[in-house]
A and B are shown apart, each in its own frame.
Chain A
Amino acid sequence: MPQADNASLTVSIWRGGQDGNFETYSVPNRQNQTVLDVVTHVQRHIDPTLSYRFACRVGMCGSCGMTVNGRPRWTCRTHVSKVAKDGKLQIAPLSNLPVIKDLAADMQPFFDKWQKAGGVFEPSKSRAEPVEPIRPNEPQRIAADAGIECINCGVCYAGCDTVRWNDDYLGPAALNRAWTLMNDLRDSAQKPRLAAVAANGGCHACHTHQSCQEYCPQSLNPTGSISLLKRLATKAYLKGELKP
């Protein structure tokens, strides 16, 4: 067993598919080092067969989410010094998603649910028309802006207990996106989207554990978005606009 000291980190990394196991490596500890750098070191210098996913390396693409010491994180912007415990790191693929190989998870269910939540803009105008004037201080624009900078990294989805228990639950990111669209005055699909998020597995399934807002690397608050969706859905139901 390598010694955990200033010179090295003891890193256990998930190897294989769904039924894989952790293997341990010793990685030099450096002053400027992210979790992605640790994983990269193992692939480049210790075991060339290690698989993982990354792209932009600066927190914009949301490709490099992994479970680090039990918690989902973006690895490209997670400094080792922030997460290593006694010189130890445990790195696994994101939870709540199928494993492709080693640290790479299959994000397809996450994207499918994004679409199921009506997470796409439905136009009401064409490119031939001028851009809709919308003042930056309108409450709906402010609400949309608050949730818009999601990078779809899947960290909230992987950290959500409700997703873990309920296969049908759409999850925080998808519902957060739906909420931003419910505040988009240009969008023409408000009713079907509200029906989609109010259905089984939608916003009412959220138990407000707040892990999503705690884990979101962009400091977004999906829990808040979901509670406002709940209110919107309940109001529509009471007005008879939404079937139970």
Chain B
Amino acid sequence: MTIERIETDILVLGSGGAGLFAALHAHDRDPSLTVTIATKGLLGKCGCTRMVQGGYNVALHNGDSIERHFMDTIEGGKWLPDQDLAWTLVSTAPERVRELENEVGCFFDRNADGSLHGKAFAGQTFDRTVHKGDLTGIEIINRLMEQVWKRRSIRKLEEHRAIAMIPDTSGKALSGILMIDIRTGKLRFVQARAVLMATGGGPTMYRYHTPSGDKSMDGLAMALRAGLPLRDMEMVQFHPTGLLAGPDTRMTGTVLEEGLRGAGGHLLDGAERRFMGDYDPKLERATRDVVSRSIYAEMKAGRTSPNGGVYIRMSHLGPDDVAKKFKGMVDRCRDCGFDLAGGLVEVVPTAHYFMGGLICLPDTSTDMPGLFVAGEDASGMHGANRLGGNGVANSTVFGGIAGDVMPAWIAANGGHRPPDEAAIAHEAERCTYPFGRKPGDVNRLRERLMDLMWDDVGVVRDAAGLARGLAGLDAIEAELMEIGVPDGDRAFNLTWHDWLNLRSLVETSRVIALAAARRTNSRGAHFRSDFPEPGDLETSTFTVVRQTGSDLTITDEPVQFTRVRPGESLLVQAVAAE
């Protein structure tokens, strides 16, 4: 098998908020460096930053403060976040938003006096979410994409899929990334002095999920195989209201925005009875995790709509008003055949965001020299739960930092490192493995994985279910290894990529289940019906999973309260200091 070789100084994997910002910053910091950005789809057109509806949390408004944003993030994360990462996030966000407005060209919504508008978002004590209507992600990514296009020396590898990190001959540092050129089906090794992993997480291994269809946790699967430590892997955020349109449509799982409940939307069971009062006095306005678990309980009790979920009803607020206020959502539902303004729409909790990921420092460096990480692949900023509006802040803040840091790292750490040729050969064989097998039904296995993760490793977990889930994952993996893909034209061969997607998903699913079994308490997104209490905050730990050979090991690491301890607040201290 011939493998084309190319060299670049900096390789960025992913073209969401993190990847695009990293490419821009790296280029602008040192235009003499070659910067290459590789992405699984088209530049800026795949991944999840683009799908951001809500907005961008930033302490830029009068009366708000970095400390307040920080405390909201720590409280929201149930005291599990790495406080230095969270601090870097909130304290860099103001500059990043000014950069987006003044240099990148985003045109965010304004107040009547012309200042930036901040909207209210759940779990926050200040209306700090900067936005562009309810399509904030499109504005951010379109403008970033234009800026990357404009810098013509930034090399683009579109429809390129990263499949493995290749170490150098010492085995200690990264040499480069092995990729599949999706359009030709050929392999390409990109040797780089520094690599940013910004492929985005995306828990698409669940029956119901919101992320972009191209997402399959490839980044974390690669990191795991490279022996890197992953933290908080049990933390999968579920959004309470995903569209439920049946099993045979890609529409199912896509998100219906939070604002529908905020505005007074009702959730009804299959008999059209409003049920949130049975669970929480805040009714539909309870937090995401509470509403998700309540809907899940209704589903378990069998009080479901025809497709097995519940209904959301907006019509009592006046169909015309709803159509005006939630135009985007109403249009989307209408295109898919549903009347959100006047009728009932079936919804279901849906896997939305992955708080877990690669351990890194605030400068985005990792345990492996030459490898940096940003965005949803990185972990520690959000702890047990991510605030709505902190996702795009996270990817753009740390993507930009990576772009600033990598040129300096290269200057201090020298040139290209020769790759471990045996590793390239091994990984090349690994990714072409299905071509040597009898073709089978990859999709059927994927359906099984999604059901297993939903049933046993989903919204509500317990020891028996997690054990069942882990055993089931082994069985699915064993079957996958027996299933092949027809070998012929490897160009733009989606079925081959479906196979590879499934393998990444099974490998990362196992880590989720393992970490979920390890955490015997309930925090934020992680809920154990056999351990429903949050546990002692002072002695909080986070899970760390590592792979050695084919073995996974898991440990608990104590959370370091470097800036504030449970029960304290930086806000109180700020007041006391005055």
Contacts and interface: CB of A to CB of B under 8 A. Distances in A.
Contacts of B495: 43-44, 48-49
Interface in B157-186: 183
Contacts of A134: 110, 114
A31 B60 CA distance: 47
Interface residues of A, number: 72
A240 interface: no
B146 A136 contact: no
Contacts of A1: none
A144 B41 contact: no
B493 A51 contact: yes
Interface stretch (A3-11, A149-157, A164-172, A197-205): A149-157
Contact of B248 (A33, A62, A187): A33
Interface in B84-108: 95-99, 101-105, 107-108
Interface stretch (B218-226, B376-384, B453-461, B484-492): B484-492
B493 A56 contact: no
A183 B237 CA distance: 40
B107 A184 contact: yes
B336 A77 contact: yes
A53 B45 CA distance: 11
A99 to B, nearest CB: 11
B567 interface: no
B42 interface: yes
A85 interface: no
Interface in B114-164: 114-116, 132-133, 135, 137-139, 142-143, 146-147, 149-150
A121 interface: yes
Q: Among A40, A57, A132, which residue has the most Cβ atoms of chain B within 10 A? A: A57
B45 A120 contact: no
B45 A152 contact: yes
Contact of A63 (B42, B96, B114): B42
B146 A119 contact: yes
A77 to B, nearest CB: 4
Contact of A53 (B41, B47, B102, B332): B41
Interface string A164-186: 00000000000000000100101
Nearest to A120: B146
A28 to B, nearest CB: 8
A135 B248 contact: no
19 contacts: A30-B246, A33-B249, A36-B250, A48-B486, A51-B494, A56-B213, A57-B213, A60-B137, A61-B212, A63-B41, A63-B45, A81-B337, A111-B149, A128-B98, A129-B98, A129-B102, A136-B114, A148-B132, A151-B138
Given A79-B336, A125-B102, A127-B99, 18 more contacts: A37-B248, A44-B443, A48-B485, A48-B495, A61-B46, A63-B42, A77-B336, A101-B492, A104-B492, A120-B147, A121-B147, A123-B103, A130-B98, A133-B110, A133-B113, A137-B112, A184-B107, A187-B105
